[in-house]
Amino acid sequence: MIGTLRNLTSDKELKKFTRPLSEVSSFFQEGVSPEVLKQIRQVLVRNLQQDPSLAKIKVVPTPGFPGGYFPRRDLIALGVSNPAVMAHELGHAKNLRKAQLYDKLIAATQSLARLNTIVSLPVTLAIKALVRNSDTQREVFNILSGTSAALAAPALSEELGASMEAIKEAPDKLQALKTLIPAFLTHVATSAFPVAIYQSGKLL
């Protein structure tokens, strides 16, 4: 069921939208109570008042998938009934919709970062096998580590910005912090993986 954010400002439509999410068991969802639905609606209404163009964003329930904003489709996928997650994805939408060049930068660096994560281990093993000089190895691994950090930086900055915006907008700021800090740390850990692999190459 694909709707729009404008639809979800209706209590009836919001209840219908969150029905498939009610059985989801997740760290990011403690239940679909009337209070949770009220807070999600508050987040939506506040954001749509600030920027009415957001009302056209499509939204789809995706049980088990915490959330994501997809700029090419102008769509929010929401897998949990959590006002902080909704506010976070709206933060991405506000940032990425207004600056196409920025959106392309984020997409390009994310694609390269994902590829870098996949190849980091085989590249490390290849360097250890093909480059005999230990000083040269260390220099190459430092360059690769720095490149990995640079590729991760734009997406991490965007995640941090969306989380800070969500905390500011959230009706329950403590609940937002409990949701968004672990989620951000997960992004950090994922981004740090290739750096850790390349740095470990210096110790092997």
Q: Residue 127: inside a domain, yes or no?
A: yes
Are residues 75 and 105 both part of a single domain?
A: no
pTM for the full predicted model: 0.88
Q: Residue 39: inside a domain, yes or no?
A: yes
Cα separation of the two ends of the chain: 52
Are residues 74 and 106 both part of a single domain?
A: no
Q: Residue 135: inside a domain, yes or no?
A: yes
Would you say 145 and 198 are in contact if contact means Cβ atoms under 8 Å apart? yes
Q: Residue 92: inside a domain, yes or no?
A: no
Are residues 62 and 106 both part of a single domain?
A: no
Q: Range of 195's domain?
A: 100-200
pLDDT tens for the chain, 204 residues long, are 789 999 999 999 999 998 888 877 776 776 778 899 999 999 999 999 999 999 999 999 998 787 799 998 999 999 888 999 999 999 999 999 988 889 899 999 999 999 999 999 999 999 999 999 999 999 999 999 999 999 999 999 999 999 999 999 889 999 999 999 999 999 999 999 999 999 999 988
Are residues 67 and 106 both part of a single domain?
A: no
Are residues 110 and 77 both part of a single domain?
A: no
Total number of domains constituting the chain: 2
Are residues 76 and 127 both part of a single domain?
A: no
Q: Residue 130: inside a domain, yes or no?
A: yes
* Coil vs helix vs strand at 178: helix
Q: Residue 19: inside a domain, yes or no?
A: yes
Are residues 74 and 117 both part of a single domain?
A: no
CA distances from 156 to 125, 127, 162, 171, 187 (A): 27, 28, 10, 24, 7
Are residues 120 and 164 both part of a single domain?
A: yes
Are residues 138 and 72 both part of a single domain?
A: no
Determine whether 30 is exposed, middle or buried from the number of CB atoms within 10 Å of its CB (0-12, 13-18, 19+): middle
